[in-house]
Structure 1
Amino acid sequence: MILPTLLHLWESSTAVQITRTSWPIDDGSNSNHTCLQHPPLRAHTSTLGDLTSTTTNYTILQQPTPRHCGMLQRSWTNVAYLSPIAQELLEWQADCSIPSATFHLDNSFGFGSHLYLFSQALCNAIEMNTRVRTVLVDDAPWLWWDQHHCAQIISDNRHSKSPWDCYFPLAEPSCPISSTSTVNITNPRNPRLRCQRLRNNETAIQEFRAATFEYLFHAVSPLVFEEAKRQIGLLFPNGQAPPDLITVHIRWGDKFWEMDLVPIADYIQAVEQLVASSTDAHIYLATEDPRAAEEFVASAPSYWNIYIDRTLVELTDARPNKGNRASWMTKNTQGRAGLMNVASWLIALEANRFVLTTASNWSRIVNDLRKNVIDPRCGNCTQVIDLRPGLW
């Protein structure tokens, strides 16, 4: 059985370190003195292999809380010096004299897909001389909201709230209701209906997408910091990422429908290229596929220190046996996967070196933030090996 073997590796292998230690609290985004605590989840484990099952057996998913918070070495509180496009988005969305247009977001697809749809909606809205006001189809809670920690936002009048408020509170600033309109933003999924500035212009698309994530992440909510610090406190020795950290993102699962999955040997070779002559290596392994994690750990040299994404470690019992099915798994965890996911982006960006597949939205977001947030502040200090380039 793959899963029990991998769980054993997480707990006992000398190549895999999941250390629970304390670390002094920094200021800024590290100013809170306690880590986030999650209530237990009741997950439908009996339906994991058969999504049509109507049985009601449950398992309790209790996630650990470290004694002390970890520490983010990079601040995500009011990030200054935005790129010109990100500054344009910030000023545009905050201008209440501009009428708003509604962008209807459904609860389909993954977290990254929703954020890229928002990016396209922003460009379409500017072309229409309107601001974006995102609403959910049928006024349902956003799939990727943590329903416990975002409960107040969910219970408030959803007609005046944005789905992004819980994680990215400045994405859609509140304006008087009189400035709204009933105009709908053109469907951003259709490339033929893209705003003119991005149509048939790959460079412009890349720049606008990256600026959108720079804009979204320039002021992440305190809740996300708390979750990131909780995970860091469980992941790394001394409660902080090693200075030579390498982030590796493996997107397997059901991604074979969209791209040829990258063999583990290619990931190992890419990390070896980044490690070069070093006698030590620290890898943050971000993946949603237990099989990919097991194969990577089994193939890695013994001197590599591999830190497994807490999203995979803690939500395994809520994951279907086949495919990725991120949306279904998120429903099964009452949105907790959403909060854990956005925090894991911040942890991934503690690294300076990356092995990514930007044909995947998760990798692409990491790469966009690397280019627009990290590199301008560290003198282009990062390196990336992209094993499957892609563009949304």
Structure 2
Amino acid sequence: MIVPTLLHLWKTSTAIQDARTTWPINDGSNTNRTCLQHPPLRAHQSKLNDLKSTTTNYTILQQPTPLRCGNLRRSWTNVTSLSPLAQELLEWQADCSIPTATFHLDNSFGFGSHLYLFSQALCNAIEMKIRVRTVLVDDEPWLWWDQYHCGQTDSNKAIVQSPWDCYFPLAEPSCPISSVSNVNITNPRNPRLRCQRLRNNETAVQEFRAATIEYLFHAVSPLVLEEASRQIGLLFPNGQAPPDLITVHIRWGDKFWEMDLVPIAEYIQAVEQLVASSTDVHIYLATEDPRATEEFVTSAPLHWNIYIDRTLVELKDVRPNKGNRASWMTKNTEGRAGLMNVASWLIALEANRFVLTTASNWSRIVNDLRKNVIDPRCGNCTQVIDLRPGIW
């Protein structure tokens, strides 16, 4: 039977809406469980001077009360069977006898870029025989913290000791800061200053990056799990991802500076390659780009079920007209986009099949977790088509 496509709360052209059916949320077994609530997000025109909106202020998100949430099929509470390299990183960071040095993380670039910078800083620190304690320049709140849920207000800023604490609480255990805390960890942005084990060795770089992401995600915070459950409850009719889900990540916007953008036709062809002749197709479309979403939806066969990334749906009113500018949007939402982004990674990993562009950090993180976490636990059950391979 051909099933109508899901376009939850996605408001686009009349032609698309007429061609596809929107399904209501079926709470199923979750009727007694409430989910994470976000306060209405208010933005002022003075902060959004390049948006088309002409109102002085507006509310972006109004959720039903009480909100019912869904369930992740895969567990991210305590992934114990780490790869040997990820286990090495965990044991190193947990050893409070090792001197600690602070690594200053600035608020530039995207979320994924920050995680890979931490990976390189960690390798550099291990070579220097020190542990990493990541801090922010001038004690500013991390751009990607959800300031409402992570407690980042002026009165309780000190609650969070590391930028990772709110989302990855075991990334940097709370050991006392040692007397060498002023040591400068070699600049992770400079490839010529990389630790010896990664220098001029692309395979080693890929393995170390993937192990770091595995290590960070081996125990995500309850807050992230609640946000993922909230999004799943809004995405899927029965509050759970279909077992045959395909994740498609589209990175357009300003990424043309770093890679040739992938035409929508290539994404469609990649999905068709994965599904063969199946008529029961379920796609999680992970993207923050409204234009890419509309083109994918209009180009896809009508029987495909497409579930739109909640980050796009809920924060579309605070996007700039041009480019991606994820950092700008995150700052303007007081970090809410950061929490939503971590949760969307977990939702993307509910799939067994993926269409990615690993020249993008977002796709690369999905692929690292696919290789290091999902495949070892499901007997290499996943498939991936990488339309733009890359490595930072």
Q: Give the TM-score normalised by structure 2.
A: 0.92
1:58 to partner: Cα distance: 1.8
Deviations 1:333-372 (A, max 9, x none): 1100000000000000000000000000000000000000
Give the conservation status (yes or no) of the 8 Å contact 1:246–1:354.
yes
How many residue pairs get matched?
382
Distance (Å, rounded) in 2 between the aligned partners of 1:16 and 1:352: 25
1:176 to partner: Cα distance: 2.0
1:107-256 matched pairs, under 5 angstroms: 107-151=107-151, 155-156=155-156, 158=158, 161-178=161-178, 181-256=181-256
Is the alpha carbon distance of 1:186 and 1:333 closer, same or farther for their aligned partners in structure 2, counting shifts above 3 Å? same
Distance (Å, rounded) in 2 between the aligned partners of 1:37 and 1:280: 33
Q: Which residue number in structure 2 is paired with residue 29 of structure 1? A: none
Are 2:59 and 1:60 aligned? yes
Is the alpha carbon distance of 1:14 and 1:258 closer, same or farther for their aligned partners in structure 2, counting shifts above 3 Å? same
Is the alpha carbon distance of 1:126 and 1:15 closer, same or farther for their aligned partners in structure 2, counting shifts above 3 Å? farther
For 2:196, what is the secondary structure of its paired residue?
coil
Is the alpha carbon distance of 1:389 and 1:134 closer, same or farther for their aligned partners in structure 2, counting shifts above 3 Å? same
Q: Identity of aligned pairs, percent? A: 81
Q: Which residue number in structure 2 is paired with residue 381 of structure 1? A: 381
1:13 to partner: Cα distance: 5.2
Is the alpha carbon distance of 1:259 and 1:6 closer, same or farther for their aligned partners in structure 2, counting shifts above 3 Å? farther
Q: Which residue number in structure 2 is paired with residue 364 of structure 1? A: 364
User: Which sections of structure 1, spanning at least 5 residues, go unmatched?
Assistant: 27-31
Distance (Å, rounded) in 1 between the aligned partners of 2:10 and 2:282: 22
Is the alpha carbon distance of 1:158 and 1:120 closer, same or farther for their aligned partners in structure 2, counting shifts above 3 Å? farther
Q: Which residue number in structure 2 is paired with residue 301 of structure 1? A: 301
Give the conservation status (yes or no) of the 8 Å contact 2:96–2:175.
yes
Is the alpha carbon distance of 1:137 and 1:296 closer, same or farther for their aligned partners in structure 2, counting shifts above 3 Å? same
Are 2:84 and 1:79 aligned? no
Q: Which residue number in structure 2 is paired with residue 275 of structure 1? A: 275
1:301-340 matched pairs, under 5 angstroms: 301-340=301-340
Distance (Å, rounded) in 2 between the aligned partners of 1:270 and 1:56: 41
Is the alpha carbon distance of 1:291 and 1:298 closer, same or farther for their aligned partners in structure 2, counting shifts above 3 Å? same
Paired amino acid for 1:61: I
Distance (Å, rounded) in 1 between the aligned partners of 2:138 and 2:251: 31
For 2:132, what is the secondary structure of its paired residue?
strand
CA RMSD, aligned part only? 2.4
Is the alpha carbon distance of 1:294 and 1:46 closer, same or farther for their aligned partners in structure 2, counting shifts above 3 Å? farther
User: Which sections of structure 2, spanning at least 5 residues, go unmatched?
Assistant: 1-8
1:157 to partner: Cα distance: 6.1
Paired amino acid for 2:274: L
Distance (Å, rounded) in 1 between the aligned partners of 2:125 and 2:159: 19
